[in-house]
Amino acid sequence: MRALYSYGLAFFILLLAGGWLATGTLVQGGNGPGKGERPIISVIEGEEHGPIATALADAGLLAEHHAPEVDPALTIAQRNQTTTGASAPLQSVRIQTFTARPMPIEVPLRGRTQAKATVSAVAETAGTVDVVHVTKGQRVDIGDALCTLDRGTRVAAVAQAEAGLDQAQAALAQAQLNSDTNADLRERGLAAANTANAAEVALAQARAGVSQAQAGLDNAKAELDRTEIVAKVAGLVQDPLAVVGATLNPGSVCATIVQLNPMIFTGMVPEAHIGLARVGLDARITTVTGQSVAGKVTYISAVADNATRAFPAEIEIANDDYSIRDGVTAEAIVNIGTAPGHLLPQSVLTLDDDGVLGVRTVEDGVVAFHEITIVSDTREGVWVTGLPARADVITVGQENVTAGQAVEASPAPAAADAEAAAS
């Protein structure tokens, strides 16, 4: 008897649960609020508004769902504002005013350092090296001695040429005296008139003899001077370097001088920026060794490289202490001018629904989205273009609002402090 009572009670509870469920709804498909929802009793009856469903509805036992129409394109904030009415409080955001100012336009170039010139100091006469005055790596200035060749008979040749010059000058003095005497005799009628021509010829020959003797002396001295090989440029001595006892012929190298001051940076200007490049622009060169020095653009090629379509360029930099070496990898930042731009903190940058980079601003209490272009990234922030001259940029809350939404904007703490200090 007790078992029958238990089974009956369980069956009665089951009937109550089934009836309660029958008054509910079944969601099929999940296509949004108010879509795919059907009363369970309609599923059981196989039709909408069947007799049982109608009876339950008349008795007020059938659940009814009236889902509001919601635009799926709206954000959560906009949906809340729509459903709660115009009296709902506006979304609060913090803004900071940024004003356009001159923005430096800089173009980075990658390249390497290069000595301005490599000069070979060569012998101009044949001879054996008696003395080498420099060593590899030594710094030399213009006029410093590099090598001394054996003088041989060159000193005697100079002495002989000097004697020949003295002799020619004596002959010239005698010819001048004879010409003056002949002229005096002709004036007094003691010498025939046709003797003047002979006196003038002898004087001209004596003068030519002096010129020839002087040229011989100059050549002899020049040949003697050629035994001293000196530096024609300032720089550092490098290989090849002659050794004592070596025989040098005209054109043989005594020493090689690398001219390191000024130094040259060689790089390639991309064709996208070649229209802005010009000689005389300021640049800052930084080597991989950490050295930084200022320079100026001194050369831009008119012909692009066939492989890279970039244009070779040279920047001249000072290297007074020779600390910058030849062939070091470096980067040059060339300042090609200024343009109006805004310096913004990176934290205000955001993306719209289409993935476009920009910033959100407040204009007359309404959010606006402005697409921007990043020109350069610095320690102070990012330089961008694409904003109005004066823009109230949202610094806090920009991810919670969308373009066209009305908001309540208040100055960010830093901006408020700046305005108070300015006033």
Estimate to the nearest angstrom the gap between the alpha carbon of 53 and the chain centroid.
Answer: 78
- The DSSP string of 8-22 is HHHHHHHHHHHHHHH
State the pLDDT at residue 189.
Answer: 77
Reported as a pLDDT band with limits 50, 70 and 90, residue 346 is very high
Residue 318 in this model has a pLDDT that exceeds 90: yes
State the pLDDT at residue 302.
Answer: 92
pLDDT tens profile 257-275: 999 999 999 999 888 888 8
pLDDT tens profile 174-195: 888 888 888 877 787 777 777 7
Q: How far apart are CA 322 and CA 71, in angstroms?
A: 71
Reading the block at residue 271, the tokens are 């064709």
Please say whether the beta carbons of 370 and 348 come within 8 A. no
State the pLDDT at residue 16.
Answer: 55
**Cα distances (angstroms) measured from residue 402 to each of 76, 95, 325, 355:** 10, 15, 55, 13
Residue 225 in this model has a pLDDT that exceeds 60: yes
Find the farthest-apart pair of alpha carbons in the chain and give their distance in angstroms, rounded. Answer: 190
Q: How far apart are CA 341 and CA 417, in angstroms?
A: 23
State the pLDDT at residue 57.
Answer: 62
State the pLDDT at residue 119.
Answer: 93
Question: What's the start-to-end Cα distance of the chain, in Å?
Answer: 94
Q: How far apart are CA 13 and CA 9, in angstroms?
A: 6
For 321, residues 6+ apart whose C-beta sits below 8 A from its C-beta are none
Share of the chain above pLDDT 90, in %: 47
pLDDT tens profile 143-163: 999 999 998 888 899 999 999
User: How many Cβ atoms sit within 10 Å of the Cβ of residue 342?
Assistant: 24
Reading the block at residue 350, the tokens are 């955001």
Reported as a pLDDT band with limits 50, 70 and 90, residue 39 is low
CATH 2.120.10.60 fits 91-101+339-422, yes or no: no
Reading the block at residue 407, the tokens are 């908001």
Output 336 or 168, whichever has higher pLDDT.
168
Residue 421 in this model has a pLDDT that exceeds 60: no
Residue 418 in this model has a pLDDT that exceeds 50: no
State the pLDDT at residue 186.
Answer: 78
Please say whether the beta carbons of 313 and 300 come within 8 A. yes
Beta strand pairing status for 247-248 and 282-287? unpaired
Q: How far apart are CA 259 and CA 322, in angstroms?
A: 9
Reported as a pLDDT band with limits 50, 70 and 90, residue 74 is low
Choose the weakest-confidence range: 84-88, 124-128, 342-346, 360-364. Answer: 84-88
Q: What is the mean pLDDT of residues 15-20?
A: 54
Reported as a pLDDT band with limits 50, 70 and 90, residue 417 is very low
Output 207 or 50, whichever has higher pLDDT.
207
Summary mean pLDDT of the chain: 82
| CA-closest candidate to residue 267, choices 323, 325, 335, 332 | 332
Q: How far apart are CA 69 and CA 88, in angstroms?
A: 19
> What are the CB-based long-range contacts (under 8 Å, 24+) for 169-177?
169/210, 169/213, 171/206, 171/209, 171/210, 172/203, 172/206, 172/207, 172/209, 172/210, 174/206, 175/199, 175/202, 175/203, 175/205, 175/206, 175/207, 176/203, 176/206
Q: Does pTM top 0.85 for this prediction?
A: no
State the pLDDT at residue 103.
Answer: 87
Reading the block at residue 45, the tokens are 């009856």
User: How many Cβ atoms sit within 10 Å of the Cβ of residue 132?
Assistant: 20
Q: How far apart are CA 132 and CA 220, in angstroms?
A: 23
Output 14 or 212, whichever has higher pLDDT.
212
Domain spans, the chain? 2-58, 91-101+339-422, 152-226
Choose the weakest-confidence range: 190-194, 322-326, 395-399. Answer: 190-194
State the pLDDT at residue 423.
Answer: 38
Reported as a pLDDT band with limits 50, 70 and 90, residue 83 is low
- The DSSP letter of residue 324 is S
Helix, coil or strand: residue 185 = helix
Reading the block at residue 210, the tokens are 């002096």
pLDDT tens profile 284-301: 999 999 999 999 999 999
State the pLDDT at residue 277.
Answer: 85
The residue assigned the tokens 């622009």 is 281
Reading the block at residue 345, the tokens are 């903190």
Output 187 or 372, whichever has higher pLDDT.
372
- The DSSP string of 63-109 is ----PPP--TTS-HHHHHHHHH-TTSPPEEEEEEEEE-EEEEEEEEE
CATH number for the segment(s) 152-226: 1.10.287
Residue 201 in this model has a pLDDT that exceeds 80: yes
State the pLDDT at residue 2.
Answer: 64
State the pLDDT at residue 316.
Answer: 95
